[in-house]
Amino acid sequence: MPSQQQGVALLAAIILMLAITLIMTNIFYRHQIDVSQATASLHTDQALLIALSGEGWARELLEEDSRNPQTNQSDHYGEIWAQAMPLLPVEGGTLTGCISDLQSRINLNSFSSYTAGKLQAELNHFDNMGLAKTWINLLDLLEIPATPARAATIIDWLDTDSTLVNSSGAEQPDYEAFQPPRVVANDRMSDATELADVMGYRVQEVQLLLPWIATLPSPSRTSMPININTASAELLLALGGNYSAQFVEVITEGRPFSDLNQLHSQLDTYLGFVNPSSPGGTGTKAKQIWNADLLTVRTDFFKLYLEVAIGEARIEVTSILHRKQGVQPTVIARTVVMVPTALPDPKKLSEVEKLFTKNDDQNQQSDEESNIVQPACLMMGI
Whether the pLDDT of residue 303 is over 80: the answer is yes
Q: What is the pLDDT of residue 375?
A: 58
The residue with greater pLDDT, 286 or 23, is 286
Query: Residue 26 phi/psi, 5° resolution?
Result: -65, -40
Instruction: Report how far residue 74's alpha carbon sits from residue 52's, in angstroms, rounded to the nearest whole number.
Output: 27
The residue with greater pLDDT, 312 or 326, is 312
Strands (E), 29-81: none
Q: What 8-state DSSP symbol labels residue 109?
A: G
Contact of 164 with 174, CB cutoff 8 Å: no
Question: Which pTM does this prediction carry?
Answer: 0.79
CA trace torsion 375, 188, 316, 343 (10° rounding): -100
CATH architecture entry for 107-296: Orthogonal Bundle (1.10)
Instruction: Report how far residue 124's alpha carbon sits from residue 114's, in angstroms, rounded to the nearest whole number.
Output: 14
337, containing H or E segment:
strand 330-338
Contact of 162 with 171, CB cutoff 8 Å: yes
Q: Which of 317, 307, 312 is nearest to 43 (CA)?
A: 312
What confidence tier does 187 reach under pLDDT thresholds 50, 70, 90? very high
Q: What is the pLDDT of residue 324?
A: 85
User: Distances from the Cα of 50 to the Cαs of 29, 32, 187, in angstroms?
Assistant: 31, 26, 35
Instruction: Report how far residue 183's alpha carbon sits from residue 167's, in angstroms, rounded to the nearest whole number.
Output: 19
Average pLDDT over residues 155-164: 93
The residue with greater pLDDT, 373 or 292, is 292
Per-residue pLDDT tens for 53-69? 889 989 999 998 888 87
Average pLDDT over residues 369-375: 44
Per-residue pLDDT tens for 80-136? 898 877 777 777 788 989 999 999 999 999 999 999 999 999 999 888 999 999 999
Instruction: Report how far residue 55's alpha carbon sits from residue 308's, in angstroms, rounded to the nearest whole number.
Output: 12
Q: Which residues contact 352 (CB under 8 A, 6 or more apart)?
A: 87, 96, 307, 380
Of 99-113, 293-307, 353-367, the least confident = 353-367
Q: What is the pLDDT of residue 26?
A: 75
Q: Which of 107, 141, 94 is nearest to 350 (CA)?
A: 94
DSSP characters over 251-303: HHHHPSPSSHHHHHHHHHHHHT---TTSGGG-S-HHHHHS-TTTEES--SEEE
What confidence tier does 310 reach under pLDDT thresholds 50, 70, 90? confident
Per-residue pLDDT tens for 213-259? 999 987 666 789 999 999 999 999 999 999 999 999 999 999 999 99
Length of the chain: 382
Q: Which CATH number fits domain 2-104+299-379: 3.30.1300.30, 1.10.1050.10, 2.40.30.10, 3.40.50.970?
A: 3.30.1300.30
For the chain, give percent helix, strand, coil, nearest 5.
Answer: 50, 15, 35
Average pLDDT over residues 268-283: 66
CA trace torsion 131, 133, 138, 139 (10° rounding): 110
Contact of 77 with 302, CB cutoff 8 Å: no
Name the residue ranges covered by the structural domains of the chain: 2-104+299-379, 107-296
Number of H helices, E strands in the chain: 13, 11
Instruction: Report how far residue 246's alpha carbon sits from residue 137's, in angstroms, rounded to the nearest whole number.
Output: 16
Average pLDDT over residues 146-173: 94
246, containing H or E segment:
helix 244-254
Whether the pLDDT of residue 371 is over 50: the answer is no
Q: What is the pLDDT of residue 343?
A: 47
Mean pLDDT of the chain: 83
Q: What is the pLDDT of residue 366?
A: 41
Beta-carbon neighbour count of residue 136 at 10 Å?
A: 19
- Angle (nearest 5°) at CA 100 between 94 and 106: 150
Whether the pLDDT of residue 279 is over 70: the answer is no
Contact of 308 with 51, CB cutoff 8 Å: yes
Average pLDDT over residues 256-279: 83
Q: Which amino acid is at 330?
A: T
Q: What 8-state DSSP symbol labels residue 84?
A: P
Q: What is the pLDDT of residue 4?
A: 61
